[in-house]
Chain A
Amino acid sequence: MNYIDMHAHMVSRTTDDYHAMALSGCLAVTEPAFWSGRDRLGPEAFADYFDHLTTFEPARAREYGIAHYAWLCLNPKEGEDRDLTRQVLKIIPEFLHRDTVLGIGEIGLNRVTRNELATFLDHVELALEHHQLIHIHTPHLEDKYKGTRVMVEALAKDPRIEPGRVMIDHAEEHTAGLILEHGFWTGVTLYPKTKASPARAIDMIEVYGAERVIVASACDWGPSQPLAVPEFILEARRRGHDEETISKIVLDNPERFLGQSPKFVPPRRERAAARV
């Protein structure tokens, strides 16, 4: 079945992963800017990273017939450093005009500090100023509920925010309802140990419905699965869901959200959906 992986850190994956994703029906990936596993040494490192995301990765993906798009930001893990944030925020607009940049992301919170919230709100301002879509990371583990609440409440107070242009990612059972009831899109990321499994993602969709819900792999440099979306497709079939519903979640919904950016080109679908 064709799908779009809306959250894949391909910069840290091998070309073999692009190959496997193409074989499994992947038509496009979107790659949010993220933490590389260590704090970067300065703002120039971000400029280099943004250039990599918007030149090398699209070219590498294209070799396998996969469209590659990026989101730019200083990620939440480094958001505590306000000086670095200010410097990186000055750099980002230089890259926003590039053809494959869809918006600002993955912004958010990590340990839910005052500085992190200020950095998050600075990025929201940047997105509003440049009319960009917003992709939001919610913290993992014990910080998720708190961080999601803080961000949702901050955004809900701002009348300039259009919830339909905001994706709040890494939702789990205790945060999905909160995100959806405020009108935002929500992402459920399929990742071993620290995020949701395909089975739990399907539980959430059965409870909350498939409107404004997207699933993604969040594959990165950690133990993760670039074929997590096909695994979700397989599990959804085992759980009795029909092809139309599954395709809505893995392809139609991402297209609807991403299509709000004039730079997003809906990928050409295969005529007969191959079984994963």
Chain B
Amino acid sequence: MAAHADTCLLTRKQLLDQSFMEHRAHLLAIAAFLDRLERAQGADNAPEDFRLTAFRDALHELTSPEPGRVVRAQLRLSDLDLTLLDERDSQSAFGASRRADGSHDDRAGAEQ
């Protein structure tokens, strides 16, 4: 039995009829984006960007058989080190943690 079974009011078929095309387009956009990154200037010699590393990590959650994929994907894209910064490093966020060591917090494995 999946977590939160039957909380969505539509059947699986209704959801697919309503939203499959939209999410199919999202999937192909991601596939094309990954191909585009490989075709980028100097891609063969470029160091791996921290954002792309986190993105690839999060993609693993999409094929997981376990529910809670969106929470786990969010956490893969999050800074899980709760230590306060001594001073502001930038005004804006990046979408993924720049901390290479990516300290993990035992309490972060929240179930949705």
Using CB atoms and an 8 Å cutoff, list the residues of chain A in contact with chain B.
Answer: 77, 80, 110-117, 139-146, 149-150, 172-174, 177-178, 199-200, 203, 206-207, 238-241
Task: List 10 additional contacts besides A113-B84, A206-B9; criterion CB under 8 Å.
Answer: A112-B79, A113-B85, A141-B94, A141-B95, A144-B78, A146-B81, A172-B74, A173-B112, A174-B75, A178-B110
State A144–B97 Cα separation when bound (angstroms): 11
Distance to closest chain B CB from A218 (angstroms): 15
Contacts of B108 in A (CB 8 A): 145
Which residues of B are in contact with A by a Cβ distance under 8 Å?
A: 4, 7-10, 18-19, 70-71, 74-75, 77-82, 84-91, 93-97, 108, 110, 112
Residues of A within 8 A of B82 (CB): 146, 149-150
Q: What would be 8 A-B contacts, judged by CB atoms less than 8 Å apart?
A: A112-B84, A141-B95, A142-B79, A143-B78, A150-B82, A207-B112, A239-B10, A240-B9
The main secondary structure of chain B at its interface with chain A is: loop
Contacts of B87 in A (CB 8 A): 80, 113-115
| Residue contact A80 to B88, C-beta cutoff 8 Å | yes
Question: How far is A141 from B7 in the complex, measured between Cα atoms in Å?
Answer: 27
Cα(A149)–Cα(B74), bound, Å: 14
Q: How far is the CB of B77 from chain A (nearest CB, A)?
A: 6
Q: Which residues of B contact A173 (CB under 8 A)?
A: 70-71, 74, 112
Contact B88 A240 (CB under 8 A): no
In the complex, what's the smallest C-beta–C-beta distance from A216 to chain B, in angstroms? 20
Cα separation A139 to B97 with both chains bound (whole Å): 13
A142 touches B95 (CB 8 A): yes
B69 (CB) vs chain A CBs: closest residue:
A173
Return the chain A residue nearest B87 by Cβ: A113
